Amino acid sequence: MDRIIAFIGPPGVGKTTLTMRLGEAEGCSVFRLREHVPQQILAAASAKPDRVDWIDNLSVARGLGTYIQEAAVDKSVHTVLLDNFPGSGFQVDLLLGIVRRRARDCTVTAVELFLEEDVRQDRLQSCKVCHTCENDPVHDPRLPAVPGGGDPWRCARCGGTLHPRRGDAPRLVTARSDRFEQEAPGLRQAFTMAGVKILRVDASRPIADLTAELSRPTTGSIQQ
């Protein structure tokens, strides 16, 4: 494992879509926190309306630590993509501490995606998921699905019916957006204090251009 790229930003800017595309390349692995914590903890976290997707620090540390340890010894993985992680200054410190202990030669890049507000809202309203293709542990799929056959509600992969993403309901989007705004200053400060420059990227650009730019080994990398 040579490189870790952390993708951060408010909901709807395209973090998951971009990590999905980048993750198709050989040697790339995508980390999504919800896939590395016990199902009962994830279910309890998803049920907290006041703190959307909140997961306790111990579960975060265990899930992330195990993942990084396994990726560091996996000869087939050279790049790890962190989808919507870290989400706070504490999680930045946690990430960098684990990397220093278990993958000292790995470089870390922070990429903050941004969009004009009207474009972000349009993306949130148009995003759909497939309950058949994504086997989510708490039956709350998050990965954007691709419509097919000229039908915006039909999955191009399995032909099943697509659904709006639960987390994109207006009330939950507001809660998630507010959470990012509250955590963003501390998150950015933690990266900066650790010597990791945050690369701000306009997510309205074509995804092919973003993928090509972020695939280059030297983009924003800081040696830990």
User: Model confidence at 111, in pLDDT bands (50, 70, 90)?
Assistant: very high
What is residue 152's DSSP assignment? E
Would you say how long the chain is, in residues?
Answer: 224
Work out the average pLDDT over 202-221: 82
DSSP-H helix ranges across the chain: 15-22, 39-46, 57-73, 89-102, 117-126, 170-193, 207-214
Contact 60, 91 (CB under 8 A): yes
> Best-predicted range by mean pLDDT among 6-20, 45-59, 159-173?
6-20
pLDDT digits (tens, 9 = 90+) for 79-110: 999 999 999 999 999 999 999 999 989 999 99
Q: Is 88 helix (H, G, I), strand (E, B) or coil?
A: coil
Is pLDDT above 70 for 39?
Answer: yes
The rounded mean pLDDT for the chain is 91
- The full set of domains in the chain, from first to last, is 3-124+167-223 (3.40.50.300), 128-164 (no CATH)
pLDDT digits (tens, 9 = 90+) for 21-35: 999 999 999 999 999
Q: Which of 114-118, 138-142, 160-164 has the lowest mean pLDDT?
A: 138-142
